[in-house]
Homo-oligomer: A and B are copies of this chain.
Amino acid sequence: MEKVFIQLEGRSYEIWIASDSSYQSALSGVLPSATSAVVVSNTTVAGLYAAALQELLKSHYPNVDLIALPDGEEFKNWETLNIIFDSLLKNSCDRKTVLFALGGGVVGDITGFAAATYMRGVPFVQVPTTLLAQVDSSVGGKTAINHPLGKNMIGAFYQPKLVICNLSTLLTLPIRELRSGVAEVLKYGPIADMDFMVWLESNVEKVLAGDMDALAHCVRRSCEIKAGVVAQDECESGLRAILNFGHTFGHAIEAGMGYGVWLHGEGVAAGMVMAATLSHRLGLIDESFVQRLVALIQRAGLPTRGPILDAGDNAGRYLELMRIDKKAEAGGIRFVLIDGPGSAVLRTVPDSLIREVIDACCV
């Protein structure tokens, strides 16, 4: 097992990256004390892993319940959140309850937000079962639900007490979901670490094939980079926004297509190409770097071009959707741009240039 430490005053915690079950014996020292534990999962993941996790937790907590939410991004909303609240209240769960988020990004985000707001906050543990969640969403304390008018609009910064990444769960992922997770891995190179990008250029096929050593490196390095950024800017007042490379365009794609039609990582992949192209047109990076990123995204089996969201005014529709993205600030949409290999910057950009890039980067 490998560990990554997230340093946050009073809210520090560890990410455990395990390729076998040996981590289980170490849990008693780190699990939050509570009188009851509730595993929150979705109907798909619960069938695969909930029984084993409940069994494991029974030696630590007198009660271990399970809540299985409907599966899918389209359920990341208030109604589903309320399934958790209703269940906790009906079972008289008090503040000494700990939640375990067993699943992908949707389960982690919604369970984290439930933990942040149930009785003004109970502890929770992330047990991410997808690559996307292990390398990104389960780490750093961003929790949220979607609103009909935008993704992740309602949420909180609320840190887990522990993150347990069991790499063996990645082997049951559909390949499309694994690829979607790789999109979030690929972002770390251009924004922060070219050595990692070079490593991925040699190893992306191994990662996609489920090679355990490759997955372990990939999850650990992603978590380390993210941990470094989050430790400097927990609540995204500045630097942390660089982790959203590709996400401004990506969120527009997800919202424009209808949540769940494109996977999150697919939107991010096409979005990174757009953001890199934008960076190039602003003179921040060479054309060759854009080509290099496109080649890597392509090898990962991810889309390198955005979908047409509106046959009449496609760029206009993208702009409309991006303006409501929460990273938009009065005065313009802020993009994460690459201002040199391994380095990112935040900038607003004139609409005319954004339109050009969208026109150049959509199917």
A residues neighboring B (CB under 8 Å) = 35-36, 78, 82, 85-86, 89-90, 92, 94-96, 113, 116-121, 142-144, 147, 149-150, 152-157, 235-236, 323-324, 326, 328-331
Asked whether, in the complex, the Cβ of A330 is within 8 Å of the Cβ of B116, the reply is no
Asked whether, in the complex, the Cβ of A329 is within 8 Å of the Cβ of B94, the reply is yes
Asked whether, in the complex, the Cβ of A121 is within 8 Å of the Cβ of B154, the reply is no
Asked whether, in the complex, the Cβ of B36 is within 8 Å of the Cβ of A154, the reply is no
Distance A119 CA – B90 CA, assembled complex (angstroms): 29
Distance A149 CA – B120 CA, assembled complex (angstroms): 15
Q: How far is the CB of A265 from chain B (nearest CB, A)?
A: 21
A-B contact pairs, 25 of them (CB 8 A): A35-B329, A36-B330, A89-B149, A89-B150, A89-B324, A90-B149, A92-B323, A92-B324, A92-B328, A94-B326, A94-B328, A94-B330, A95-B326, A95-B329, A96-B329, A96-B330, A113-B117, A117-B117, A118-B153, A119-B153, A119-B155, A120-B144, A120-B156, A120-B157, A121-B156
Distance A86 CA – B95 CA, assembled complex (angstroms): 30
Q: Is the interface of A mostly helix, strand, loop or mixed?
A: mixed
Copies of this chain, tallied across the complex = 2
Contact among B90, B118, B328, B330 for A154, CB-based, below 8 A: B118
Q: How far is the CB of A139 from chain B (nearest CB, A)?
A: 16
